[in-house]
Structures are given as C-alpha cells and as structure tokens.
Amino acid sequence: MAQSFGPTGPQPFPQDWASLLVLVPHPDDPEYGTAAAVAKWTAAGKTVCYALACRGEAGIAGMAAAQAGAIREAEQRRAAALVGVPDVDFWDFPDSNIRNTPELRAKITSVIAEVRPDVVVTIYGGAQFAPDVPNQRDHIEFAAAVADVWDALEDPPRRLFQNGPGATHVEIVDDYLDAAVDSLAAHEVYLSVLDPHTPVREQARAVIDMTCPMLTGRRVAGFILERAADR
Ligand SMILES: [Zn+2]
C-alpha cells in the first residue's frame, strides 16, 4: 500500500508551529508513517507528545490482555523516546472496539485543552488505504471523533492533519529513516508475534519504506490537511 499524493501535488508541511499532539487509537500507529517526521521535528527543537486511546491489549495473538497491554505500553514508550517524545498518554478505551462515542470525544477534548497544541496529527480515517486494502474500524471511528471535536471547539488548534495516502503536505525525512526504523522496531514483542518468520528490523524497514515513499528524489512522510483555523 504505497502512499499516493493529492492530485495537485503536496505542499511542504508547515513549520510555523512549536507544539504538536499525535492522537491515535493504538500503540504502533505513530510508527506507521509519522515517526520519521516526529524525529525531524523534535531534533529541530519542537515539542511533540503522543496520546493513545488504548494500550493495544487485544493486539498480541495468544496473550492475555493485561500482559499484552503492559508489554505494548512499554514498547510504545521506548518507540516514542527514540524519536524525542518523552510524553505518552494512554487512555483506557477498549482495543478493537474504539468508537466515536461521547466519552471518546470528551477525552480528546480534555487532552487538547490540557496540551494546547498548535497542530494535531491523527490516524488516517478513510475507508481504505488503497484499493483492496481496507482501513480498520477503530481508525475510521477515532479519526471521525477527532474531527468532530475539532469542529466543536471554539478555539481549536491551528491545523488538523491525518497521516495517510493522498497527502496534501509532506515532510522530507531522508535523514530520519533510521530513527523511524528504530522506533518501529521497539515494538519488538508485538512484531515478532505478528510475523515470527521475518526479523523485527526487517519488518520495520519494510514498513518505513512503504509509509515514507520517494517524491521527486526525496523520502517523505505524507499528511492530509483536514482542518485549518482562520487565524
Ligand atoms: Zn492502529
């Protein structure tokens, strides 16, 4: 599922901001396409934090939820630290059953109010990543909840992006691909159970190659502008 770009070609990702909040449903969502850009942003002195709706407790086949949740939380904290993100907030919504409910929207609202980011990046909310590659319902509902919250805020963050195909904006990440691979490879137990036959770093490298494609000779992370405040 190589990423495609918008019909008119993407713009450079804006630089006129100081703080960015990555809002996603699951552990490893930030590492599927956003983390390379995060590594670049934090290296430039910007502040990035992550908030996740769940601990990914349903994500390790054959493992009890409590154990899987604890492992995935620890792996996510390491993955974040590797790209300069010390702050990871885990909520307790149920993995695989994340829905656009009033409770989820209230949590998103309170975290945005607390962090007061200039920019929010969330998960891709489209029906499919590519023809025959459907998106997950947790992603679609979570992305819709974030947009609903943004629309209801009197004083929303300046911009809301999704990370995914059909990018309107790109960040050049040539120098941050290794950091992105390290960050995804921190999900070591998760990835080694997901695909026991391929070494974790090899899996991580393949995902970063897919999610940070080449655009006019540069490797980029792609983002879709969903909302912009007029101010
Ligand atoms: Zn996910």
Question: Hey, CA dihedral for 156, 159, 163, 166, is it positive or negative?
Answer: positive
pLDDT at 3 over 80: no
Q: Which of 84, 215, 224 is nearest to 168 (CA)?
A: 224
Q: How far is the CA of 142 from the centre of ligand 1 (A)?
A: 10
Give the pLDDT mean for 183-207: 97
Cα 8 to ligand 1 centroid, rounded to whole Å: 28
Residues with CB under 5 A from ligand 1 (ion): 26, 29
Positive or negative torsion for Cα 100, 103, 106, 107: negative
229 with 119: CB under 8 angstroms?
no
Backbone angles phi, psi at 202, to 5 degrees: -65, -45
Given a contact cutoff of 8 angstroms between Cβ atoms, the answer to whether 20 and 182 are in contact is no
CB 96 within 8 A of CB 138: yes
Residue 96 CA, ligand 1 centroid: distance in Å? 9
**Model pLDDT, residue 221:** 97
Helix (H) or strand (E) holding 203: helix 200-211
Q: How far is the CA of 136 from the centre of ligand 1 (A)?
A: 7
Please give the average per-residue pLDDT across 187-213, as a whole number. Answer: 97
pLDDT tens digits for 27-38? 999 999 999 999
Region of 116 (left: φ > 0; alpha: ψ -120 to 50; beta: rest) is left
Cα(168)–Cα(63) distance, rounded to whole angstroms? 39
Give the Å distance between the CA of 123 and the centre of ligand 1. 8
What pLDDT band is residue 1 in, cutting at 50, 70 and 90? very low
**Overall residue count recorded for the chain in this entry:** 231
CA of 137 to the centre of ligand 1 (A): 9
Mean pLDDT, rounded, of the chain: 95
Instruction: Name all domains of the chain by residue range, CATH numbers in brackets.
Output: 17-228 (3.40.50.10320)
In percent, the amount of the chain with pLDDT more than 70 equals: 96
The amino acid that residue 126 corresponds to is G
Question: β-pairing, 47-52 with 19-24?
Answer: parallel
Q: In sequence order, what are the beta bridge partners of 169?
A: 11, 223
Q: pLDDT by residue (tens digit) across 49-76?
A: 999 999 999 999 999 999 999 999 999 9
Separation of alpha carbons 184 and 207, rounded Å: 9
Q: What is the pLDDT of residues 121-162, one digit of tens each?
A: 999 999 999 899 999 999 999 999 999 999 999 999 999 999
125 and 190 in contact (C-beta within 8 Å)? no
Average pLDDT over residues 80-84: 98
The Å distance, Cα 25 to ligand 1 centre, comes to 6
Could you give the maximum distance between any two Cα atoms of the chain, in Å?
Answer: 51
Strands 218-228 vs 169-172: parallel, antiparallel or unpaired: antiparallel
